[in-house]
Amino acid sequence: MLRLRGSLGEGSRGHGRAQGQTEFRGHRPYSPGDDLRRLDWNAYGRLGRFFMREYEHERTEHVTVLLDCSRSMAAGDPPKHLLARRAAAAFGYLALKRGGSATLAGQAAVEGVSRFSRFLDHLVAAEPTQDTGLHARAEALFARGRAPSDLVVISDALEPLESLQPLQAMSEKRTNLTLLQVLAPDELDPRPGDALELHGLEERESLELTLDAATIAAYQRELERHLEGIEGIARRHGWTLALTDSAADLRELFLGKLLPAGATP
């Protein structure tokens, strides 16, 4: 199951940029993993610091993937993190295949399809074991001071809507953003059952309840309200937004939905 919400079926994107442009845009601070051939040695001679020359085509070809590694991504059958990491691998491979580069947020950039295995190594190490969720990871990325040109966010996005504020701030700095929201089948369509004990994977709290029809209806109303809130934020900032369950077919997800809707890359 996958839903494209808002105007996404029209393939709209936040900030269109012509492909292949080579217009000089300026400088940015050096980051580990950058191509040393693009260092501006004149700037280093004047300022004593490393700066990279940046061109428009570099911005369109570099993709940053922000992957939610919180414990909530381990929930579900199949677990949400499995599809999330497979989708992240696909985004990275597409960027590298097109001659660009890809970064898993928090790791060094990878350039060239021949180094795709390095990107996979980063993903293998990205286990869903962290206490912090999407907000903390997005805030850390934003705090680096240089907003990514193209950002793919993969998360269950079940935190309060305020957790999306760092992503909105990056959009205001011309970041092209794709948000892939991955939920488990039973999160999207819970079934009546016996008494349950729910454990907060981030908060370490538990709650006992009976999953009857009334409880399910109340949950579905809250979930829909939350999804509509995300949709509203995405529409205002021109994001490409997709909602899928963790059992979705990856090929159908990309070829049938994400890429036609204008998702990066």
Q: What is the mean pLDDT of the chain?
A: 83
Least reliable range by pLDDT among 21-35, 132-146, 209-223, 240-254 = 21-35
Give residue 81's pLDDT: 98
Look at residue 34 in the predicted model and tell me its pLDDT: 66
Specify whether the CB–CB gap between 110 and 102 falls below 8 A: yes
Burial class (CB in 10 A: 0-12, 13-18, 19+), 53: middle
Cα distance between residue 22 and residue 28, in whole Å? 16
pLDDT tens, position by position, 150-205: 999 999 999 999 999 999 999 998 899 999 999 999 899 888 875 555 555 555 66
Judge residue 170's burial from the number of C-beta atoms within 10 Å of its C-beta, 0-12 exposed, 13-18 middle, 19 or more buried. Answer: buried
Q: How far apart are CA 157 and CA 164, in angstroms?
A: 8
**Secondary structure E strands in 166-239:** 176-183, 195-199, 206-210
C-alpha triplet 102, 106, 109: angle, nearest 5°: 30
Q: Domains of the chain, with CATH numbers? A: 2-23+57-258 (3.40.50)
Q: How far is CA 62 from CA 6, 32, 137, 184, 259, in A?
A: 26, 15, 19, 30, 16
**What pTM, to 2 d.p., does this model score?**
0.76
Summarize pLDDT for 5-63 with one digit per residue, the tens.
Answer: 433 333 334 343 334 445 666 787 877 666 677 788 888 888 888 888 776 554 447 89
User: What is the spatial distance between Cα 134 and Cα 170, in angstroms, rounded to a whole number?
Assistant: 14
| Residue that has been written with the tokens 């599809």 in this structure | 83
Indicate if the pLDDT at residue 124 is higher than 90.
Answer: yes
Average pLDDT over every residue of 217-240:
94
Q: Using CB atoms within 10 Å of the CB of residue 190, give its burial: 0 to 12 exposed, 13 to 18 middle, 19+ buried.
A: middle
The answer to whether the Cα torsion of 239, 136, 90, 1 is positive or negative is negative
Q: How far is it, in rounded angstroms, from Cα 96 to Cα 110?
A: 8
